Amino acid sequence: MESYALLLAATLNAGTVLAIAALGLLINEKAGVVNLGAEGMMLCAALAGFATVVHSGSDWLGFAAGMGAGALLAALFGVLVIWLNTNQYATGLALSLFGLGFSAFAGIGYVQAKLPERVQHHIPWLGDIPWLGPALFRQHPLVYATMLFCAALIWWLYRTRAGLVLRSVGESPESAHALGYPVRRIRLLAVVTGGALCGLSGAYLSVVYTPLWVEGMVAGKGWIALALTTFATWRPSRALLGAYLFGGVTMLQFHLQSVGVDVPSQWMTMLPYLATILVLALISRNPAWIRINKPASLGRPFHPGA
C-alpha cells in the first residue's frame, strides 16, 4: 500500500514537469503558433536554473532564471517566425538543435556540481494523514501551483475578453486584424509566455525533480509536451490530466522494478515514448475530431496589411 502512495506522489511530481511545459505550449498554439523548440528551451532553461541555484543558493531565483532563458529563446523564435515569416517547423527544429548543442557546451562545468541540500516539503497536518499525506501533501509548492494555474488558464481562456482575443488570433488572424487587434504582437506575447513556462518546466526538472544537470537531460520531455497538446485537443484540463498520465507511465518503470518485475530497464525506459506514439495514433485516428478542436490557423503564418 505504502508503495502506491509513493508511486502517486512520484507521478504528480513527474507529471508537473510535463504539465507546466504542455500548458505553456498550449497557450502559444491557441494563438496559432507551433514551437517545436520546446526541447531546446527546456534544456537551456534547465541549465540556467541549475547554474543559478548553484551560485545563488535560491531555488526561486533558479526558476526565474529558467523562465528568463525560455522566454529569451522563445522571443528569438517568435521574431523569426512572426516577423520574418520563417517556416515554423524548421525554426522550432533549429531552436531544439541549438538548445541541445548550446546547453551541452555551456553546461560542461556543471555536470558534477551539487545543489544546496534539498528541502523536504510537507504541508502541516495534511501531510501527516496516513497514506494520503505521503501521496498528495508532501509535494513541492509548484505542483499545487501548476494545478491552480491550469484552473486560472481555463477561466482566462474561456471567460475573459483577453482569452477570447488570444483564441481568435489562433482561429482567424484575418478577422482579429480587421477588428484592430495587433495580431503579431499578441502572437509574440503568447510565444514568449509559452517559452517562459517551458523554461520553468526545465528549471523544475533540474532543480527539483532530478535534481542535477547532465547533457541532454530533458530526454524528449519537450517533445512529449508538444504531443500532449494534440492529445488534449488543445484543452488545458486534458493537458493537465495527460501530463499526470504520462508522469505515471514514466514512474511505472521504477515501481515495477521495486516490486521485482524482471524486465530489462531499456524496455521500461521506452514506455513513455511508445505511449506517446500510441496516444497520438489513437487521438488522431479520426481527422475530423482533430480538425474541429485544433486552432484553425495553427502553423500558418499571418501577413497583415495585404
Binding residues for another protein (CB under 8 A): 36, 40, 76, 80, 83-87, 89-91, 93-95, 97-102, 104-105, 108, 215, 219-220, 223-224, 226-227, 230, 264, 266-267, 269-270, 273-274, 276-277, 280-282, 284-287, 290, 303
DSSP 197: H
Between 23 and 95, CB nearer to another protein = 95
C-alpha torsion sign, points 266, 267, 272, 273: positive
Residue 105 or 131: the one with the smaller Cβ distance to another protein is 105
The cell 477588428 sits on which residue? 179
Nearest approach in angstroms of CB 186 to another protein is: 18
**How many residues appear in the chain?**
306
Q: Cβ(74)–Cβ(41) under 8 Å?
A: yes
The grid cell for 186 is 499578441
Closest approach of another protein to the CB of residue 90, in Å: 6
* CA R_g for the chain: 19
Shortest Å, Cβ 242 to another protein? 14
- Which residue number, 132 or 274, has a Cβ lying nearer to another protein? 274
Residue 179 or 277: the one with the smaller Cβ distance to another protein is: 277
What's the closest the beta carbon of residue 278 comes to another protein, in angstroms?
Answer: 9
Residue 218 CB, nearest approach to another protein (Å)? 11
Q: Residue 191 in 3-state DSSP?
A: helix
Crossing angle of helices 2-30 and 141-159, in 10° steps, is 40
Q: Which C-beta is closer to another protein: that of 119 or that of 288? A: 288
Classify 129 as helix, strand or coil. coil
For residue 16, which of 144, 136, 133 has the smallest C-alpha distance? 144
